[in-house]
Chain A
Amino acid sequence: MFYKLTPTTGQPLYLQLMQQVRHAAETGALRDGDQLPGIRTLAEELVVSPNTVAKAYCELEHEGLLELRQGLGAFVCVKRRTRSLENDVNLARRRIRDLIEQLREDGLLDAEIRRAFEAELLYAAEAVRKR
């Protein structure tokens, strides 16, 4: 598996790592029972603080996607639910692709679309809470 963390985006690195592991599990790149690299190994490979990796693994364990076995390492455990999520995600991507296509036809530039998405994501979170 290859992971790529981008320090300059507004998202904590451990969240980025979690998403990438999750994504790998959803797409089938990681299968049930697969072992992830050790905290130290992955931290050195990505050149990030070991705490970042530890936190991501710990959170993923809470989600039930990883099983941390003392002294052995981190193992993927993919349940049915994540399998169905795979379909949901694929569906969502298709819809987003359509929407982007439409926005482009309306004459919006990619950078504008991206910023609008980010702003709406933030706004949506706030608005949902208010209503």
Chain B
Amino acid sequence: MLWYRFWLETRARFLTSLATVTIFCGVFVYHAEGLLRPQWKSGFNRLLFINQQFLVIMWILACVLLGMGGIVREKAVGTSSLTLSLPVRRATVLGVRVGVGLAEAIVLGVVPWLTVFVISAWAGMPISITQVGSYIVLLTGGGLVYFAMAVLVSSLVVGEYTAPAVAFGVVLLSVLVFDNWIPRFNAWRLVTGDFSIDRKTFLLGKHLPWPGILASLAVAALMVLASMLVVERREF
């Protein structure tokens, strides 16, 4: 029943984010499509690439919100003694929370792109499902590290509003720092498709940057593990 609890807890945040992101992508693609109809071939592909840029921003914002919560936040809200009194390990509680968040994050990536896919097919400009699939893989595979970052921050920082503020700060800082000094390792560019887009056709390459995605996922997993250790050891 822990999953049920976390679903109830994040439901409002998740559904709002989902609606916002999906409507944005749908409207953006549909309207822009009309504008660019004459030279649609590469123009439309470019549009999809731009769509991914916007989607990444919103998706990461949503992920940070979904990554908030947990026992540390509960301490600030005052429900931690209920959670801690349950016959469940703290790591399990965190694990289920991350699981629910993960599922929601994936849905947040899949649904908007499927919407774009359906809308463009319906408007007479079908896009290849592999392109859609690639965008989704980049977004979720590469981007979950931001969700994990939020989870880690949420298990370190107390305060109902302090934690999300710090999490947004950390995300922003990481993007700026990586972009300035080691752009090759900037997860943001990995997620947006910057590393794999063909600058002429605006199509994603056949070969996805798997090493980057795997590395990003590994870092995400490490961050979740670190959060578990922190939560197990913390005083409440």
A and B touch in the complex (CB under 8 A): no
Residues of B participating in the A interface, judged by any CB pair closer than 8 Å: none
Residues of A participating in the B interface, judged by any CB pair closer than 8 Å: none
